[in-house]
Amino acid sequence: MNTSKIIAVAATVMLLQGCAAAVVAGGATAANSANDRRTLGSQLDDNSIVVRARRAIGTAESIPDESNINVTSYNGVILLTGQVSSDSIKQQAELLVKDTPGVRDIHNQIRLGNSTSLATRTRDSWITTKVKSQLLSEDDISGLNIKVVTENAEVFLMGLVKGPEADRAVDIARHIDGVSRVIKAFER
């Protein structure tokens, strides 16, 4: 077999491996959407809310570039997290997203202070992964219906859950190494 045929076969195999990963990821997303207690319309609305809210904050001249503001939406409830330099910026961020179509409520959990470092954000991602993994491994709660957001070691839990599920999820998150505080933003 000549060299060009070997290269063509190798390239084809690599491309097919990428397709397999895309199919698996697509299937996982579809399974997650199918098991979500929100309607498909609500899931799409949440994505739209986040895009519009981020755009409103990102284009506002009153929000300094060094501000770190994150937007999460679950069933029309917005969670604002991050750090800003003043209370007026924190309130301005809330006002900017308040009139976003589909927003039912806002939990403004932005903290005053400097933006977190890359090391802190990496640790936060690891905490989120550990909490989410533990929630998904539990039989008595539906981990797929709980959104986990971690900001500076504070874990925020959002979702449509029943009372015992909420209590169990909080208990699980509290006992994950590195978590400093757990804040509930559940709907029941």
Reported as a single tens digit per residue, the pLDDT across 124-180 is: 999 999 999 999 999 888 888 999 999 999 999 999 888 899 999 999 999 999 999
The CATH number that domain 118-187 falls under is 3.30.1340.30
- DSSP letters, 21-33, are HHHHHHHHHHHHH
pTM for the full model?
A: 0.78
CATH code assigned to 40-112: 3.30.1340.30
Do 185 and 79 contact (CB within 8 A), yes or no?
A: yes
Q: What is the pLDDT of residue 21?
A: 41
Cα–Cα distance for residue pair 110/24, rounded to 1 Å = 36
